[in-house]
Amino acid sequence: MKKILLVDDDADLLDALERNFRPHRHTWHLTTALNGAEALSLLQERPFELVITDILMPEREGLEVIMEVRRDHPEIKVIAISGGSRKMSLDVLDVARSFGAHKVLAKPFTADDLFQAIRTLLNEDVQASSPEQSLS
Amino acid sequence: MSPSARILVVDDDATIRGILAEALAKTGYETLEATNGSEAEHLARQHEPDLVLLDVAMPGEDGFSVCEHLKSEVSTSDTPVIFITAKTNPAHIERAFSVGGSDYITKPFHMREVRARVCAHLDLHRAVRELEKSQAALLRAQKLEAVGQLAAGVAHEINTPTQFVGDNTRFLQETFSDVVALIETLRGLSSADSPPPSADQLISTIREALDQADVDYLLAQVPRALESSLHGLKRISKIVKAMKQFSHPGSSEKEQANINRAIESTTTVARNEWRYVADLELHLDDSLPPVPCLLGDLNQVILNLIVNAAHAIADVVGDGSQGRGKITITTSQVGGEAEIRIADTGGGIPEAIHSKIFDPFFTTKEVGKGTGQGLAIVHTVITEGHGGSIDVETEVGKGTTFIIRLPLEAAPDRTEAA
């Protein structure tokens, strides 16, 4: 079973997405974290195949999660999700992509969009889905 | 010379009046003439001159009284009044300025002096008007900029609940098809067409159908999904309402407003500006009476101070990874005034710049981050727009509190332009 870590600072959002993962419980094992710090400590403890992370969060932003995952666990696939930016001039999902996220989804997205992205990333080999640009 | 302006010449002496009016008309001004106080006030109300040349000693109402009346009327309160009189007694000169006169010329006068003073006062008056207009335009521009900046934050605040309300709805939709399948199975069992199953068969079929429908999970999760969706819709509706209140078009007339509600809506629309670096506490006095204010402008003031507080805290705690700060907003009634205190746990303001913080264009932010207009606008709106006061208490390393006091009784409105 593939292990997925979902990180978002909104508990309602985590619960709602978790309910949508329920029918896939025999293929994907979902773990949730409420902030970047919690996510990073979970990543130290156990292996994951895929991380889905929100970007703007208190206590370690999603961008830090992406950076650390790309640096310490380059084999883990990353999907960035976000509902917007703090400043109009900056699209955080573009930034997330340039930090190494393999896929980005703007909220609100449908669960089908998310599942399709997960399937694509978990079935593709590392070469084909390498990030467009990664930080050295 | 000043561009064309209308000047009212008031003197009971026809010769002096004639000389003044003719000379000013030759210079290019439009002139009006009045022979006594009541005629002067009537013409001033009717034609709204740009300047008044006013004799002091006239039969009936004297020039000082005329000046007092002009200053008490909204349409002529700003009009410069220059006294022209033979009275050179210091007490008279003092009286001329105390009733609102702008200048004092003694008879016999030199026409060149009169022209020069008229021209100077018209220029000064025009410059002040321009300044007031630019200030009002600046406030509008800053408000638009703030609404634009908030829009990104508001979109974020709406997108998150929209996401999970959608996810919950999809879950409920799938749940319903599972429940329908379960009902179909039960219907099949109760149908007269099929042969009656044994008790064991019946129990096993029902158990299988219940398992298939994941009933235990549904019983636990459906109520939570419904509750979460209602909560999400409430969040969306709260921010939409707050945005509507915040972007209140802003009347040029003061209105009795509930400033607690204004503070609540402004903190809601600005949530994205502070929530990553600070917790926000509101201590709002429910017994605070309505405050006469320009609500749109006051919202802008509260926003500027909250955003400043968040920036001051961010300078200390970074993006929130080094702990969080606190913003506390308190309202109360102090004597005949409403008091709003906005306190932050940021780095405080160094003593060397205390006196400059309300100056236009003064900023400590890096180039491109601040225009230096935020606190200058706050100061103008509170003091000139509302006849209130703003003070600051600050300690380096501990934080800053801005204290706004607004009179509960409306003062005569002299700030239509703002």
Q: Which residues of B touch A110 (CB under 8 A)?
A: 166, 170
Whether A26 contacts chain B with CB within 8 A: no
Residues B380-412 have pLDDT tens digits of: 889 888 899 999 999 988 999 999 999 998 655
Banded pLDDT at B369 (limits 50, 70, 90):
low
- CB pair distance less than 8 Å for A10 and B272: no
Q: Choose the closest CB to A60 out of B214, B232, B321.
A: B321
For residue A62, tell me if it sits in a domain: yes
- CB pair distance less than 8 Å for B167 and A17: yes
Q: Which residues of A touch B310 (CB under 8 A)?
A: none
For residue A17, tell me if it sits in a domain: no
Whether A23 contacts chain B with CB within 8 A: yes
Banded pLDDT at B108 (limits 50, 70, 90):
confident
Say which range, A18-27, A53-62, B121-130, B169-178, has the weakest mean pLDDT. A53-62
Q: Choose the closest CB to A15 out of B161, B228, B320.
A: B228
Q: Count CA atoms within 13 Å of residue B331 on its CB side.
A: 20
B76-99 burial, b for 16+ CB within 10 Å, e for fewer? beebbbbbbbebeeeebbebbeeb
For residue A135, tell me if it sits in a domain: no
Q: Which residues of A touch B168 (CB under 8 A)?
A: 16, 19
Percent of chain B whose predicted confidence (pLDDT) is above 90: 50
Q: Which residues of B touch A22 (CB under 8 A)?
A: 171, 214, 217, 221
B174-198 burial, b for 16+ CB within 10 Å, e for fewer? bbeebeeebeebeeeeeeeeeeeee
For residue A7, tell me if it sits in a domain: no
In B314-397, DSSP assigns E strands to 325-334, 337-344, 389-395
Residues B111-141 have pLDDT tens digits of: 999 999 999 999 999 998 888 788 777 777 7
Please state the rounded mean pLDDT for residues B139-159.
Answer: 77
Burial group, residue A107, by CB count within 10 angstroms (0-12, 13-18, 19+)? buried
- CB pair distance less than 8 Å for B149 and A85: no
For residue A82, tell me if it sits in a domain: yes
The 3-state DSSP composition of chain B as helix, strand, coil percent (nearest 5) reads 55, 15, 30
Residues B283-317 have pLDDT tens digits of: 999 999 999 998 888 988 999 899 889 988 988 88
- Long-range own/partner contacts, residues B231-234 (CB < 8 A, 24 or more apart): B231/A12, B231/B161, B232/A12, B232/B161, B232/B162, B232/B164, B232/B165, B232/B168, B233/B161, B233/B165
Q: Choose the closest CB to B174 out of A23, A64, A106.
A: A23
C-alpha span between B336 and B102 (Å, rounded): 33
Please report the pLDDT score of residue A125 as a whole number. Answer: 42
- Do A18 and A7 contact (CB within 8 A), yes or no? no
Please state the rounded mean pLDDT for residues A120-125.
Answer: 74
- CB pair distance less than 8 Å for B171 and A10: no
- CB pair distance less than 8 Å for B319 and A61: yes
Q: The CATH number of the domain where A81 resides is what?
A: 3.40.50.2300
Please report the pLDDT score of residue B261 as a whole number. Answer: 92
Q: Which of A60, A111, A106 minimizes the C-alpha distance to A83?
A: A106
Q: Is the dihedral of CA A41, B317, A54, B157 positive or negative?
A: positive
80-109 in chain A: CB under 8 A from chain B = 82-88, 106-109
Percent of chain B whose predicted confidence (pLDDT) is above 70: 91
Residues A60-87 have pLDDT tens digits of: 788 999 999 999 999 999 999 998 765 5
Whether A56 contacts chain B with CB within 8 A: yes
Cα radius of gyration rounded to whole Å, chain B: 35
- CB pair distance less than 8 Å for A84 and B159: yes
For residue A132, tell me if it sits in a domain: no
Q: What is the DSSP string of B67-134?
A: HHHHHHSTTTTTS-EEEEES---HHHHHHHHHTT-SEEEESS--HHHHHHHHHHHHHHHHHHHHHHHH
C-alpha span between A117 and A112 (Å, rounded): 8
Indicate which of B164, B165, B176 best probes the interface with A, i.e. most A CBs within 10 Å of its own CB.
Answer: B164
In degrees, rounded to 5, the angle at the alpha carbon of residue B371 between the alpha carbons of residues B368 and B372 is 135
Domain carrying residue A79: 44-91+99-111
C-alpha span between B352 and B360 (Å, rounded): 17
Please report the pLDDT score of residue A121 as a whole number. Answer: 94
- CB pair distance less than 8 Å for B168 and A22: no
Quote ipTM for the complex. 0.84
C-alpha span between A35 and A61 (Å, rounded): 8
Please state the rounded mean pLDDT for residues B64-82.
Answer: 91
Q: For residue B100, give both structure tokens.
A: 């609102």
For residue A2, tell me if it sits in a domain: no
C-alpha span between B302 and B369 (Å, rounded): 19
- Domain count across chain A: 1
Residues B271-286 have pLDDT tens digits of: 888 888 899 999 999 9
Q: Which residues of B touch A57 (CB under 8 A)?
A: 276
Which SS3 state, helix, strand or coil, does residue B186 take? Answer: helix
Say which range, A81-85, B32-36, B53-57, B367-371, has the weakest mean pLDDT. B367-371
Q: What is the DSSP string of B151-174?
A: HHHHHHHHHHHHHHHHHHHHHHHH
- CB pair distance less than 8 Å for B166 and A19: no
- Do B345 and B317 contact (CB within 8 A), yes or no? no
- CB pair distance less than 8 Å for A88 and B159: no
Q: Which residues of B touch A13 (CB under 8 A)?
A: 160, 163-164, 167
Q: Which residues of A touch B228 (CB under 8 A)?
A: 12, 15-16
Residues B25-34 have pLDDT tens digits of: 998 999 999 9
- Do B267 and B307 contact (CB within 8 A), yes or no? no
For residue A77, tell me if it sits in a domain: yes
- CB pair distance less than 8 Å for A84 and B319: no
Nearest residue on chain B to A109, alpha-carbon basis = B163
Please report the pLDDT score of residue B385 as a whole number. Answer: 86
Residues B314-355 have pLDDT tens digits of: 888 876 667 889 999 999 999 999 999 999 999 888 877 777
The CB density around residue B416, as the number of other CB atoms within 10 Å, is 10
Average pLDDT value over all residues in chain B: 87
Please state the rounded mean pLDDT for residues B180-193.
Answer: 84
